[in-house]
Amino acid sequence: MDKLDASALRCPLPLIRVKLWLRAAQDGERLRVLLRDPGSRQDIPAYVSGIGHPVEVVIDDAERLELIITKAP
């Protein structure tokens, strides 16, 4: 599983990195993403699920959001 620690990045950089990963990933590959930026915490799950990729929330608290994104076919 790949990992993207975007906790130090502000929107839109985390979303851009997720988009690049989705473009390069093979079907079924997974990405663990760590986010702290409020905009990214809302935008990334909405975007990824909106284009049909499963998103699993691992941690969602006041300090961080941790997701696992699975590249769908």
CA 33, CA 30: separation in Å to the nearest integer? Answer: 10
Options 9, 11, 25, 34, the catalytic residue? 11
The kind and range of the H/E element at 16 are helix 13-24
The kind and range of the H/E element at 44 are helix 38-50
* Residue 7 is a catalytic residue: no
Question: What is the set of active-site residues?
Answer: 11
